[in-house]
Every structure is written in structure tokens, then in C-alpha cells.
């Protein structure tokens, strides 16, 4: 099974909005509303920021939002802040009863 496809890097200026895509197939992202997104700082464990495509756990800023269209899920961060600079990963359940992660996207705040 191949990893979900994410851009290696994205960047934006403070206050702007950015979107990170997560492309899978009809065997994972396209079939289930089970995409989660995680934020990871260097040397730290990932943190859940979006579950089930668009649900924000308690305590997560409403600047983070998620959506899905077909085989592609997206994470949007609005009002970009310096503290958002981190790595972001998506993951999804699959029809093979397994789980996939995306390759990760490095967000740079200019």
C-alpha cells in the first residue's frame, strides 16, 4: 500500500490562508470519512488537529479546518501565525482494514 500523497512543503505569510492536500484513492480517502490531520513540531509527538475529515477536537484553534472532495482531503489554516510552522500529516482508514499516513508537509511561515 502506498502512502497518501501530500505536497512536500507549503509556505505563507502571517495572516494569509494556506491549504494542504492529501490525495488517496477510492480504497481509502474516497470511501471513508475517516481522514485525520496531525501537527508535529520537531522532536515532539504529533498532535491531532482534525478528525473525521472536518471535526476539530476541543482546544484546537478554529483557524484549522478540514474538507474532502472525492479522493482528496484538505487542511486549511487561516490567519497564519508563526506558531503554525510545523509538519502536517494526514491519515486514513482503508478498505483493506489498514491505515495509511501521508508523507507529510512542511509548513513555513514567511
Site residues, another protein (CB under 8 A): 1, 3, 34-36, 38, 45-48, 51-52, 57, 89, 91-93, 96-104
Greatest distance between any 2 Cα atoms in the chain:
41
Cβ neighbors of 69 (< 8 A, separation 6 or more) are none
Burial 59-94 (b: 16+ CB within 10 A, else e): ebeeebbbebeebbbbbebeebeeebebbbbbbbbb
The cell numbers describing 83, all together, are 506558531
Least distance from another protein to the Cβ atom of residue 93, Å = 5
CB nearer another protein, residue 62 or residue 97:
97
- Comparison of 17 and 30: residue with beta carbon closer to another protein: 30
CB 26, min distance to another protein, A: 17
The cell for 13 is 505569510
**Minimum Å distance from CB 64 to another protein?**
15
CB of 86 to another protein, least distance (A): 13
Choose between 11 and 96: whose C-beta lies nearer to another protein. 96
Residue 21 or 93 having the CB closest to another protein: 93
DSSP state of 46: -
Amino acid at each position: 500500500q502506498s502512502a497518501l500523497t501530500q505536497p512536500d512543503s507549503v509556505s505563507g505569510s502571517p495572516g494569509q490562508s494556506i491549504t494542504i492536500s492529501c490525495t488517496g484513492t477510492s480504497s481509502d480517502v474516497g470511501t471513508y470519512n475517516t481522514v485525520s490531520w496531525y501537527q508535529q513540531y520537531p522532536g515532539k509527538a504529533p498532535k491531532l488537529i482534525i478528525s473525521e475529515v472536518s471535526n476539530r477536537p476541543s482546544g484546537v484553534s478554529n483557524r484549522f479546518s478540514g474538507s474532502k472532495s472525492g479522493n482528496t482531503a484538505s487542511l486549511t489554516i487561516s490567519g497564519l501565525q508563526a506558531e503554525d510552522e510545523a509538519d502536517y500529516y494526514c491519515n486514513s482508514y482503508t478498505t483493506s482494514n489498514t491505515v495509511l499516513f501521508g508523507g507529510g508537509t512542511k509548513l513555513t511561515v514567511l
